[in-house]
Amino acid sequence: MNDPVIDNYHTFSFSQRYRIFNPLTLVFRDSGLEQEYQANVAINIARQVRIALALAFVLYLNFAFLDYLLVPEKMWELWCVRALTCSLIALLFISTFQTFFQRIHQQLVFISSMVAAGGIFAMLLITHNQYNHYYYAGINLCITWTLFIVGLRFINALRTVVLIVAIYNCIAFFKALPFTDIVSNNFFLLSNAIIGIFAGYTIEQHSRWQFFQSLVIKNNSSKLHRAMIAASLDAVITIDESGSVIEFSEAAEQMFGYSRADALGQSIGELIVPEALRAHHESGFRRYSEKGEPRVLGQRLELQAKRKDNSEFPVELTLRQVDLIGRRLVTAYIRDLTAQRSAEQEIVRQREKLQRNEKLAAMGTLLAGISHELNNPLAIVVGQAQLLQETEQDARVLKRADKIRHAAERCATIINTFLAMARNQPPQCKPVNINQLVQHVLELLEPELRDQHIELQLQLENNLPDVAADADQVHQVISNLIINAQQAMQDSPQKILRIESTLDETALNDSHIVLRIQDSGPGITPEVQARIFEPFFTTKAPGKGTGLGLAVCGGIIEAHGGRLELEQHSGSGACFCISLPLRAA
């Protein structure tokens, strides 16, 4: 609790304790403190009251033997009084187990004192005066019992003792006891009462001071704890045995999007545990609650958590058990790993990019040497094709010679492209129509597609704007992707090659031409997908692939400011997506 009296405790010493509670009644001057003290007394008094009532019950029964020895002629009347008194004490004993006892414990304790004294008063009225002094001792026992044992507050005990002494004097005068006996008895009664009152006063004063000190220590500890929690960058959440939130730090508010007021009392599972993990969480928490099996306490766990908007994010979780009197709480320390995961992914991406660049550099050196060696035989092929065109008259031979010359020139262009890549030369961008480029590639590859019985499905959007691109380089990319698709479908029962072009205008200031090339082959496994653009990586048999095709294609498209991606789609096969910006890169 936050109370100015407690917060300013350092200004008080024990000698100044009367600034905290009334010196006569011992009631705390602050009503909130008094209510909390009474609540604390109510929690702890039941056991004490039961012991006191049990003691009174035993004493009443034991002294029944005294009735038989001293006043046998009144024995049955006295035993009836004892039976009635013991019955009332038994009822009061049973009431200490009821829920209402804590609420009215002082009233019930007062009644028990008056019941115990009332039985003695009844026996004093029944017996003759010459035997009164034997039962008079019972009054002294009741006073001692009231002041020390039964658990009455000091001010209530004082009133009860005064009432008991007053009733005894009324009975003494009513029975016309000798005046000297009355004075003598009052002397002993009042002496017993004064000693008991002083002792009771001192005991309750010390009890109240200790209670106040414990509240101060608890308050200061709580303030320090709250300050430490508020300064923590990690979210701190405390839950009780039922899994309900009883503490929700400021960092938790920022991390999960709930206010502290909204979170308190809510189930932790419904609050921050994703739906997919909730059943596992509930079974584990139920096992912990029922059997106390702390399988995850003290361990560092990495898992998914849920924000208020149902978005999931990675967290690191550590659980600690807190044992309080009658309660077992669990405190969770939660750290958001989103930034850490992003950094790790960026490191991995940069490492992969560096490895890829190193391989591309090695590939460039290799290609430079190979290109130089290939130029000479390609020049011979081009020359021989031209000679055939000049010397032959057969139209079929001329057509074949023309195709040979175009293919050889295409090879020379590819070699020049390789050389440009090796020298890191940028693409020579000019307006290019993607649909026409696709048609040119298909004209070259159509015989092979037809021989393999591949069904071609073209869905090219009409009137697409031109893109700024190097036609030869993009031609090489499209050709490579179609050849890959053709090879992937060699053993497929159904061979379908689908090529689709569209205009993507979703970006505000950067529209793209999108070209998708999809086959009906076996597809690409997740393990391979992560490496398909890695230079020199291939799944083809030795001698059938170098692992350079997709790496080169990816580099070409990136140089144009676009993207080459393996696109997820429904159905079998693989779908590669080329995205080229309309503006120049």
Q: What is the residue whose two structure tokens read 């924000």?
A: 307
**Across residues 265-277, what is the average pLDDT?**
86
How many angstroms separate the Cα of 356 from the Cα of each of 348, 349, 420, 579?
12, 10, 18, 21
Does the pLDDT at position 39 exceed 70? yes
- Do 394 and 514 have their domain in common? no
| pLDDT at 435 exceeding the cut of 80 | yes
**CATH classification of the domain holding 407:** 1.10.287.130
Span 460-476, pLDDT tens digits: 888 889 898 888 888 98
Question: Around 326, how many Cα atoms within 13 Å sit in the side-chain half-sphere?
Answer: 1
Question: Are 354 and 467 in a shared domain?
Answer: no
The pLDDT, as a whole number, for residue 577 is: 92
Do 126 and 209 reside in the same domain of the chain? yes
Structure tokens at 530: 């992560």
Task: Say yes or no to pLDDT of 217 above 70.
Answer: no
Q: Is residue 91's pLDDT more than 90?
A: yes
CB 573 within 8 A of CB 523: yes
Domains in the chain: how many in total? 4
pLDDT(444) > 60: yes
Residues 321 and 421 occupy one common structural domain? no
Assess whether 267 and 391 both reside in one domain: no
Task: Assign 543 a pLDDT band (cuts: 50, 70, 90).
Answer: very low
Residue 280 has pLDDT above 50, yes or no: yes
Rounded Cα–Cα distance for residues 28 and 38 (Å): 10
Give the distance from CA 322 to its chain's centroid.
17
> What average pLDDT does the structure give for the chain?
80
The reply to whether 323 and 214 lie within a common domain is no
> Domain boundary at 158, 190, 222, which?
222
pLDDT at 249: 84
Segments forming the whole domain that contains residue 189: 4-222
22 and 86 inside one domain: yes
Q: Which of 320, 336, 352 is the last residue of a domain?
A: 336
Can you give the length of the chain in residues? 585
Q: What is the pLDDT of residue 36?
A: 79
Residue 8 has pLDDT above 80, yes or no: no
Question: Is residue 550 predicted with pLDDT exceeding 60?
Answer: yes
Query: Is 353 found in the same domain as 471?
Result: no
Tokens of 262: 């909204």
Assign 578 a pLDDT band (cuts: 50, 70, 90).
Answer: very high
Q: Is residue 227 part of a domain?
A: no
> What's the rounded Cα separation, in Å, for the pair 456 and 46?
90
> What is residue 56's predicted lDDT score, i.e. its pLDDT?
86
- CATH number assigned to the domain comprising residue 322: 3.30.450.20
115 and 14 within one domain: yes
Q: Is the pLDDT of residue 2 over 60?
A: no
Looking at the fold, whether 46 and 137 belong to one and the same domain comes out as yes
Q: What letter does residue 198 receive in the DSSP assignment?
A: H
Q: Are residues 384 and 521 in the same domain?
A: no
The answer to whether residue 84 scores a pLDDT higher than 90 is yes
pLDDT for the residue 514: 92
pTM of the full predicted structure? 0.40
Q: Is the pLDDT confidence value at 585 over 50?
A: no
